[in-house]
């Protein structure tokens, strides 16, 4: 027999919101618990860049977290479906437990017990953020679903999105964020900066005002991936500008399936339009580039000194 077998691995799998809403809601709370540990221990970085996670070949990681002279890392493994904690130092240790259907309260207790077993005493504010009607982690027995198939699909989408976002990021030599995953809003984001200060941002529902002020202290064009929710009942890519320049929402963008959402105040591109295209990379890059141009042109950014020359 000759030739190559076709892999069943889907690089751009489907992720219908209605099929995994319960798992989505539970994962959101689990990631907030782990994320708050990083927030508690990591030194503050501009725009809250000490907060997010990053993609790995198996899932999401906190990256190294300081604990005195020791360091530890927490990983969500969506391939082997485990929560893993590595410590570094003379007492280097790895401990884990399975990611399986369990309540947020149980996950919280088990994770904190695991940290204590590694002599990592971390106290967090045990209440979720950026959600309506938050339930304290110790009391949350409402969210208790975990479908490994959809957790794996989310991870694969994040890996592909990260890869394309990194290509887009490489074209910019101005100030630019990492490609990172914010557990508060449960989205992957990448932000470019014009280099100019922005007017003070107003309050945002379910988010502390001091967080918003820090995040939007400078003019930005921010893009990302979000699994959906509320008025958007499908996974999407998004792109917005703050402050939004006059003419931004009417600027022509690509591909044809992209449009400006007045409900969100940003351009959106349905994930399925990318997944089903003949060239997902180019479809997504066209959206990222054209919406950036919308922000940069209408906002009069100094593009000559912010963008990398090609060729």
pLDDT tens for each residue of 127-155: 999 999 999 999 999 999 999 999 999 99
Q: What's the angle, vertex CA 226, arms to CA 190 and CA 76, rounded to 5?
A: 85
What is the model's pTM? 0.95
In whole angstroms, give the CA distance from residue 173 to residue 248: 23
β-strand 70-77 against 82-88: which pairing, if any? antiparallel
Q: Which of 124, 233, 242, 232 is nearest to 183 (CA)?
A: 124
Q: At CB < 8 A and 24+ separation, what contacts does 195-204 make?
A: 195/219, 195/302, 195/306, 198/242, 198/243, 199/243, 201/242
pLDDT tens for each residue of 227-264: 999 999 999 999 999 999 999 999 999 999 999 999 99
Does 215 have pLDDT greater than 90? yes
At 5, the pLDDT band (50, 70, 90 cuts) reads very low
3-class secondary structure per residue, 77-135:
ECCCCEEEEEEECCCCCEEEEECCCCCHHHHHHHHHHHHHHCCCCCCCCCCCCCCCCCC
Average pLDDT, the chain: 95
As a residue count, the chain comes to 311
Report phi then psi at 147, rounded to 5: -105, 110
Does 1 have pLDDT greater than 80? no
Average pLDDT of the segment spanning 187-196: 98
Upstream peptide bond of 307 is cis (omega within 30 degrees of 0)? no
In whole angstroms, give the CA distance from residue 124 to residue 265: 33
In whole angstroms, give the CA distance from residue 187 to residue 283: 20
Average pLDDT of the segment spanning 53-73: 97
């Amino acid at each position: 027999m000759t030739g190559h077998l076709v892999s069943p691995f889907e690089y751009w799998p489907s992720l219908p919101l209605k099929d995994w809403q319960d798992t989505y809601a539970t994962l959101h709370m689990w990631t907030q618990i782990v994320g708050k540990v990083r927030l508690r221990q990591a030194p503050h970085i501009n725009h809250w860049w000490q907060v997010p996670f990053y993609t790995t070949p198996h899932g999401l990681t906190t990256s190294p977290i300081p604990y005195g002279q020791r360091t530890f890392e927490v990983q969500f493994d969506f391939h082997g479906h485990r929560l893993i904690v590595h410590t570094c130092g003379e007492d280097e240790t790895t401990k884990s437990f399975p990611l399986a259907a369990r309540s947020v309260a149980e996950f919280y207790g088990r994770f904190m017990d695991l940290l204590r077993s590694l002599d990592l005493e971390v106290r967090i504010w045990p209440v979720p953020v950026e959600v309506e009607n938050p339930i304290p982690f110790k009391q949350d027995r409402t969210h208790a679903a975990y479908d490994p198939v959809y957790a794996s699909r989310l991870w694969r989408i994040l890996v592909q999105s990260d890869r394309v976002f990194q290509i887009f990021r490489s074209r910019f030599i101005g100030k630019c964020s990492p490609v990172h995953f914010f557990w508060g809003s449960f989205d992957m984001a990448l932000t470019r900066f014009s280099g100019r200060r922005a007017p003070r941002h107003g309050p945002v529902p379910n988010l502390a005002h001091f967080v918003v002020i820090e995040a939007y202290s400078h003019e930005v064009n921010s893009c990302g991936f979000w699994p959906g929710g509320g008025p958007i009942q499908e996974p999407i890519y998004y792109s917005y500008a703050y402050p939004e320049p006059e003419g931004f929402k009417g600027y022509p963008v690509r591909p044809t399936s992209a449009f400006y959402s007045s409900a969100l105040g940003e351009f959106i591109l349905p994930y399925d339009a990318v997944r089903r295209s003949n060239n997902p990379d180019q479809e997504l890059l066209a959206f990222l580039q054209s919406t950036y141009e919308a922000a940069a042109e209408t906002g009069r950014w100094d593009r000559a000194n912010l963008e990398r020359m090609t060729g």
